[in-house]
Amino acid sequence: MLFIQCIYPYYNPYVTAFSSPLPDERIYHYPLMQSPFLPAAILLSYVYFVLSLGPRIMANRKPFDLKPLMVVYNFALVGLSAFIVYEFLMSGWLTGYTWRCDPVDVSDSPMALRMVRVAWLFLFSKFIELLDTVFFVLRKKNGQITFLHIFHHSVLPWSWWWGVKFGPGGMGSFHAMINSLVHVIMYFYYGLSAAGPRFQKYLWWKKHMTAIQLIQFVLVSIHISQYYFMASCGYQFPIFIHLIWIYGTVFFILFSNFWYQAYTKGRRLPKSSTTANGALHQNGVAKNGKTKQN
C-alpha cells in the first residue's frame, strides 16, 4: 500500500506527458475507471490464480464439467461482441468518421457519449474474457494455458484502460471494433465446440480461424500506419498510435509463425476431435497440438 501511495501522484503526469493534459472526465463515473489500481489488482489476481492458486486448488480435485456453462458463456460473448461492433459503427465509424485521421470527439454530444460508452464496454468485455483462462484451470486444461495467452489477456485490458481513460474513440478505436468483430466469429466457434460432438461436423473451418486473425492484424496495421504518412493529423494521442502499430505487427508475426508451423510444416496440427473452449488457444500454441486465438 505504501508503494501505491507513493506512485499515485505520478501516474497521471507520466501519461499526460505523452498524450493529453487531463483524463477524459466523461468516463470517470464508469466502473473501474476512477483509478488504475482496481484494474491492476484484478489483473494481478488473475495471473496469480491462473499460475499458482488455481492449479494448487485443483491438484487433488476432479476437473469440473462446465460444458453447459461454457455454451452459455460463449454465445453470450457472441452477442456482446456483435453489439459492441454495432455501437462502434453507429457512434462514429459509419456516422461521420473518415476511416483515416479521426480525432476523439471530446464534446458531450449524444454521438460522442455513445462512443465513450462503447469504448468502456469493449474494455469491460476484456475483463469478462479472463474467464476463458479460469475455465481452463477449473477443467484442469493447464496445458492450454500458454505464456502468450496470459500475456495477451492481462496486457490488453491494462493498455486499453489507459486508452479509454484518456482517449475513448477516434482512430485509436478501429482495432477495438475489428477485434470485436473477430470475437463474434471466434466465440461462435467455441460455442459450437462446447455444445458437444454432434456439432463437430460444423467445425471444419478451424484452420481459417488463424487466417481471420492474420487479416485482423493486417487491417489494424494498415489503418494505423496511415498516421505516419499524413502531413498533419488532429488525433490527440500519438502514443496510442505507436502502441497499436506495435501490437498489430508483433501479433501478425506470432500468428504467421503459427500458421507456418501448423499448416505449412505440418507441426502442432489441432486434433479434429477437440471440443469445448480449448479447441483453439488464444495467441499461442498450446501443448497437445491445440491452439486458441483471440
With 60 as the cut, is the pLDDT of residue 270 above it? Answer: no
Q: Which active-site residues does the annotation give?
A: 152
Question: Confidence class of residue 41 from pLDDT cuts 50, 70 and 90?
Answer: very high
Q: Which of 22, 220, 27 is nearest to 115 (CA)?
A: 27
Distant-in-sequence, close-in-space partners of 95: CB < 8 Å, separation ≥ 6: 89, 111
pLDDT for position 21: 54
**How large is the average pLDDT for residues 122-131?**
97
Q: pLDDT, tens digit, for every residue of 17-27?
A: 344 458 999 99
* Range of lowest pLDDT (43-57, 69-83, 159-173, 209-223): 209-223
With 60 as the cut, is the pLDDT of residue 274 above it? Answer: no
pLDDT for position 222: 93
Reported pTM = 0.82
Classified as helix, coil or strand, 60 is coil
Q: Give the separation between CA 134 and CA 51, rounded to whole angstroms.
A: 10
pLDDT for position 197: 82
Classified as helix, coil or strand, 75 is helix
CB 18 within 8 A of CB 239: yes
**How large is the average pLDDT for residues 168-183?**
96
* Range of lowest pLDDT (93-97, 130-134, 209-213): 209-213
Q: Give the separation between CA 236 and CA 104, rounded to whole angstroms.
A: 7
Percent of the residues in the chain that have a pLDDT greater than 90, as a whole number: 63
Residue 103 φ then ψ, to 5°: -70, 165
Q: Give the separation between CA 239 and CA 230, rounded to whole angstroms.
A: 16
* Range of lowest pLDDT (122-131, 241-250, 251-260, 283-292): 283-292
pLDDT for position 70: 95
Q: Give the separation between CA 73 and CA 194, rounded to whole angstroms.
A: 10
**How large is the average pLDDT for residues 9-32?**
67
CB 292 within 8 A of CB 149: yes
pLDDT for position 19: 42
pLDDT for position 169: 96
pLDDT for position 135: 96
With 80 as the cut, is the pLDDT of residue 271 above it? Answer: no
Question: Confidence class of residue 182 from pLDDT cuts 50, 70 and 90?
Answer: very high
Q: pLDDT, tens digit, for every residue of 189-223?
A: 999 988 888 888 878 877 788 788 889 999 999 99
Q: For all residues of the chain together, what is the average pLDDT?
A: 84
Written as one string, the DSSP assignment of 150-183 is HHHHHHHHHHHHHHHHH--SGGGGHHHHHHHHHH
Question: Confidence class of residue 280 from pLDDT cuts 50, 70 and 90?
Answer: very low
Q: Give the separation between CA 189 and CA 203, rounded to whole angstroms.
A: 7
Q: Output 195 or 12, whichever has higher pLDDT.
A: 195
